[in-house]
Amino acid sequence: MADSEPDPDALRRRRERILRGFAEAVPHNRALGIEIVELGDGRARYRLPYDPRLIGNPETGVLHGGAITALLDACCGSAVFNALPQPQPIATLDLRIDYLRPAVPPHAVVASAHCYKVTRNVAFVRAVAYHDDEADPIAAAAGTFMVATKLGDPARRKPAGGGA
């Protein structure tokens, strides 16, 4: 292997270290209890344990859709990050979620995502959330993520509200 070629194992370990650090640093995901289950090339699997604090319907105990959205967004972002040739900042541009059935107690919800296309600036991902069987999803998601060209490139930053 030439010196200019990155070591694939080293890159995989670096990505995983970054993603695990990011997952631990995001208070929202930590508060929800979102856990990384598995990371791979262009793929990710996350888990959201059932928690009564996340109930959206007190009569049935069904989990709130917002918690499932957060799970799918985190999982999709990780799949995109794992599909990039080198670690780069990413951001959700669009995330469409179709809710197919309720997330019922007391089961954890698992999300599985696959990034199927990366262009220079945009990545495309699909995901499902389910209890025990990926073929029987709770929700299906399709998303697009912005891919930054350089880590911390100030030229790409724009203030909120579109100001200069």
pLDDT tens digits for range 31-76: 999 999 999 999 999 999 999 999 999 999 999 999 999 999 999 9
pTM of the entire structure?
0.85
With tokens 């508060």, the residue in question is 31
- 100-157 per-position pLDDT tens digit: 999 999 999 999 999 999 999 999 999 999 999 999 999 999 999 999 865 555 445 5
Tell me, what's the pLDDT at 161?
59
Going by CATH, does the domain composed of 8-162 fall within 3.10.129.10? yes
CA distance 136 to 129: 9
pLDDT for 157:
53
More confident residue, 20 or 83: 83
Selected residue with higher pLDDT from 18 and 112 = 112
Q: Is the pLDDT of residue 6 over 80?
A: no
Cα 125 off chain centre by: 9
131 burial class (0-12, 13-18, 19+ CB within 10 angstroms)? Answer: middle
Where are the chain's structural domains? 8-162
Question: With bands split at pLDDT 50, 70 and 90, how would you rate the model's confidence at 163?
Answer: low
